[in-house]
Amino acid sequence: LELSKNGYKVTAIDAYAPPSPWSAANDLNKIIRTEYSDMIYTKLSVEAMDLWRNDATFKPAFNECGRVLVTPESHLARKDFEAKGIANLKKIEGQGTKIEYIKGGEGLAKKFPVFSSNKVHSDAELKWNPESGLGISFKALELAYQACVSLGVNFSFGASGEATKIITDDNKDYVITADGSRYTADKIVVSMGASTGKLIDLKQQQSATGLFLTHMQLNEEEFQKYKDMPIIFDSEMGFFFPPDPESKILKIALPGTGAHHMIKSNFRGEMTSLPRYMTEFPSDTIPVDGPEKVRNLIEKYIPELVSHQLINHKTCWIGDTSDSHYIIDKVPYLSYTYIASGDSGHVFKLLPNIGKYIVARLDNNLDQNLQQVWKWRTDLEAFDPAKTDWRVPSEDLDFADIEWVKKPEL
Ligand SMILES: Cc1cc2nc3c(=O)[nH]c(=O)nc-3n(C[C@H](O)[C@H](O)[C@H](O)COP(=O)(O)OP(=O)(O)OC[C@H]3O[C@@H](n4cnc5c(N)ncnc54)[C@H](O)[C@@H]3O)c2cc1C
């Protein structure tokens, strides 16, 4: 989208039409927040928030429903991350002024009567930021796609869009696709999310992490009751969103569980974590202990929904780097190829503005500090989930060992 707005003639290829079932963003919703412990992302997310509110393409997929953070005193790393996030936000003029601190379950019920029978501890400190919300993520992908089509971007999907290899021949880079087609261009950008390491030799720079989601279907009466609730982000137990207005489905993210899937990479036979998608492995649902964890979460906040059947379990893949910075740079061993990857599970919120920075890198005029932070860095230590403490504390599972919930879960 951003390339074509900047006068580039663009061909985009993908294994699937948007919203691709392989995309981490092909989901009901994602959190759009501006509290970040690193000022770089605070500024980027404040810029993105303005576009979610006002840009004609993205506005229809934004709901500024607000978010309540619930973090136990004992989770020091997470508390520190949140405190820094709020402090950073308040350094930007006009930002963070509406954040409120709420005391315990009673305070929560007073502020949001839909949580009147919550079981939050009376001493818990909750943070409420009304200036955050959710992006209806599958819809945002469709809207961005439609905007690209109207700007004249050429698309190829299916076997002629699924990249299998990238080669250099006669001083040009070529992307080869599953049907044997060859694509070349003056500049090629590979942004295959968690799968980027299938095409590009990233060494240990990026590692695919599978995260788990589930859902419940609300009826009309329940939808009316819960549609205006905020996102509840309980850093110990998981998080959930207000129900989707079209399907009336409520999405729940499983607490603290990620998984790696180690396979031999296409490069030097090195072992690396790469996605295995539900399109090929439909029985990859959620780990067998997931439903109980989800029920504990729902019981804590909205006990009347606790016995709803959990549906549409999902594994979804992100590309983690060890310092959670993205990788937006030229690939040193290729002639004309760049990557925009290493999302580390936090780039959906920047969908309206990240393209501007990718284009700046291609045009060689990216801010020096950003260029340094997002550079190709194969000297990075390998990703270690135990050190990614800004996320919910992570139980790191191995795909080889996971026992899956059979679907549908009854
Ligand atoms: C459970 C979960 C919750 C999340 N919550 C949030 C949140 O609250 N807020 C937030 O900001 N972010 C969140 N994220 C992260 C966000 O979804 C990702 O950061 C973002 O989607 C990454 O974008 P991407 O374009 O790099 O990769 P993706 O969105 O994964 O897109 C990759 C694309 O590459 C295509 N592709 C893959 N392989 C090939 C191939 N061989 N050939 C051609 N095309 C290919 C896919 O079809 C897909 O379209 C979450 C992610 C998950 C999984």
**ipTM score of complex:** 0.99
Give the mean pLDDT of 357-371.
Answer: 98
Q: What's the gap in Å between 101 CA and the centre of ligand 1?
A: 32
How distant is the alpha carbon of residue 331 from its chain centre?
A: 23
Q: Quick one: tokens of 406?
A: 């059979």
pLDDT exceeds cutoff 50 at 281: yes
Q: What's the gap in Å between 347 CA and the centre of ligand 1?
A: 8
Q: What's the gap in Å between 264 CA and the centre of ligand 1?
A: 22
pLDDT exceeds cutoff 70 at 410: no
Measured by CA distance, the residue closest to atom 36 of ligand 1 is 192
Question: Taken in order 118, 71, 314, 31, is the CA torsion positive or negative?
Answer: positive
Span 204-213, pLDDT tens digits: 999 999 999 9
Which pLDDT belongs to residue 134?
A: 98
Ligand 1 lining (C-beta closer than 6 Å): 13-16, 20, 22-25, 30-31, 161-163, 191-195, 198, 211, 213, 253, 316, 318, 341, 343, 345-349
User: Is residue 47 very low, low, confident or very high in pLDDT (cuts 50, 70, 90)?
Assistant: very high
Measured by CA distance, the residue closest to atom 16 of ligand 1 is 348
This prediction has a pTM of 0.96
How distant is the alpha carbon of residue 151 from its chain centre?
A: 26
pLDDT exceeds cutoff 80 at 390: no
Span 91-148, pLDDT tens digits: 999 999 999 999 999 999 999 999 999 999 998 889 999 999 999 999 999 999 999 9
Q: What's the gap in Å between 277 CA and the centre of ligand 1?
A: 12
Give dist(CA 27, CA 229) in Å, integer.
Answer: 19
Which atom number of ligand 1 is nearest to the Cα of residue 344? 19
Which atom number of ligand 1 is nearest to the Cα of residue 211? 1
Mean pLDDT of all residues in the chain? 94
Measured by CA distance, the residue closest to atom 50 of ligand 1 is 345
Q: Which among 1, 2, 11, 20 is the best mutation to test ligand 1's pocket, defined by most ligand atoms within 8 Å of the CB?
A: 20
Q: Which among 137, 317, 318 is the best mutation to test ligand 1's pocket, defined by most ligand atoms within 8 Å of the CB?
A: 318
Which atom number of ligand 1 is nearest to the Cα of residue 316? 53
Reported residue count of the chain is 410
Burial 255-289 (b: 16+ CB within 10 A, else e): bbbbbbbeeebbeeeeebbbbebbeeeeebbbbee
Let me know: does 385 contact 374? Beta carbons within 8 Å.
no
Which atom number of ligand 1 is nearest to the Cα of residue 134? 8
Residue 60 φ/ψ region, left for φ over 0, alpha for ψ in the -120 to 50 degree band, beta for the rest: alpha
Let me know: does 216 contact 308? Beta carbons within 8 Å.
yes
Q: What's the gap in Å between 195 CA and the centre of ligand 1?
A: 9
Which atom number of ligand 1 is nearest to the Cα of residue 314? 1
Domain 2-401 has CATH 3.50.50.60: yes
